[in-house]
Amino acid sequence: MSGGRARPDEAGLIARFFRPLATSPGAAELLDDAATVPHAFGKELVVTTDAIVAGVHFFADDPADAVARKALRVNLSDLAAKGARPFGYLLTLALPGRWDEDWLEGFAEGLAADQEEFGVSLLGGDTVLSPAGLFVSVTAFGHAGEGQVPRRTGAAPGQRLYVTGAIGDAALGLMLRRDDRLAAHWDLRRADREALLDRYLLPEPRVALAGVVGSYATAAMDVSDGLVGDAGKLADASRVGAVIDAARIPLSPAAARATRADPAALTTALTGGDDYEILLAIDPDDADAFEAEAAGAGVRVTDIGALVEESGVRIERQGEALSFGAGSYSHF
Cα-based distances in Å from 234 to 78, 158, 203, 223: 14, 15, 21, 10
Contact 135, 167 (CB under 8 A): no
99-129 burial, b at 16+ Cβ within 10 Å, e below that, comes to bbeebbebbbbbbbebbeebebbbbbbebee
Contact footprint for its own copies (CB under 8 A): 9-10, 28, 31-37, 39, 44-57, 78-79, 81-82, 84, 90, 92, 94, 96, 123-133, 135, 137, 139, 141, 144, 149, 151-153, 221-222, 237, 330-332
Min separation Cβ 53 and its own copies, Å: 5
Instruction: Rank residues 69 and 257 by Cβ distance to its own copies and give the closer one.
Output: 69
Instruction: Rank residues 144 and 227 by Cβ distance to its own copies and give the closer one.
Output: 144
Min separation Cβ 105 and its own copies, Å: 18
The pairing of strands 85-95 and 160-164 is unpaired
Q: How many residues does the chain have?
A: 332
Min separation Cβ 164 and its own copies, Å: 15
70-74 long-range contacts (CB < 8 A, ≥24 apart) are 70/201, 70/202, 70/203, 71/136, 71/137, 71/138, 72/111, 72/114, 72/118, 72/120, 72/138, 72/140, 73/114, 73/202, 73/203, 73/204, 73/205, 73/276, 74/50, 74/138, 74/203, 74/205, 74/224, 74/276
Instruction: Rank residues 216 and 276 by Cβ distance to its own copies and give the closer one.
Output: 276
Q: How far apart are CA 240 and CA 41, in angstroms?
A: 35
Instruction: Rank residues 11 and 295 by Cβ distance to its own copies and give the closer one.
Output: 11
Q: In a 10 Å sphere around its CB, with 0-12 CB exposed, 13-18 middle and 19+ buried, how is residue 133 labelled?
A: middle
Instruction: Rank residues 207 and 266 by Cβ distance to its own copies and give the closer one.
Output: 207
Min separation Cβ 297 and its own copies, Å: 20
Q: Concatenate the DSSP letters of all residues of 135-175 into one string.
A: EEEEEEEEEEETT----TT---TT-EEEEES-SSHHHHHHH
Min separation Cβ 265 and its own copies, Å: 26
**Binding site residues for Mg(2+), as ranges?**
33, 48-50, 78, 126, 222, 225
Instruction: Rank residues 97 and 296 by Cβ distance to its own copies and give the closer one.
Output: 97
Min separation Cβ 152 and its own copies, Å: 6
**Binding site residues for ATP, as ranges?**
125-126, 152, 224
Contact 210, 43 (CB under 8 A): no
282's enclosing H/E stretch is strand 277-282
Min separation Cβ 312 and its own copies, Å: 17
**Binding site residues for substrate, as ranges?**
57, 274, 329
Nearest of 211, 205, 55 to residue 132 by alpha carbon: 55
Instruction: Rank residues 49 and 311 by Cβ distance to its own copies and give the closer one.
Output: 49
Instruction: Rank residues 70 and 257 by Cβ distance to its own copies and give the closer one.
Output: 70
Min separation Cβ 286 and its own copies, Å: 21
**Binding site residues, as ranges?**
33, 48-50, 57, 78, 125-126, 152, 222, 224-225, 274, 329
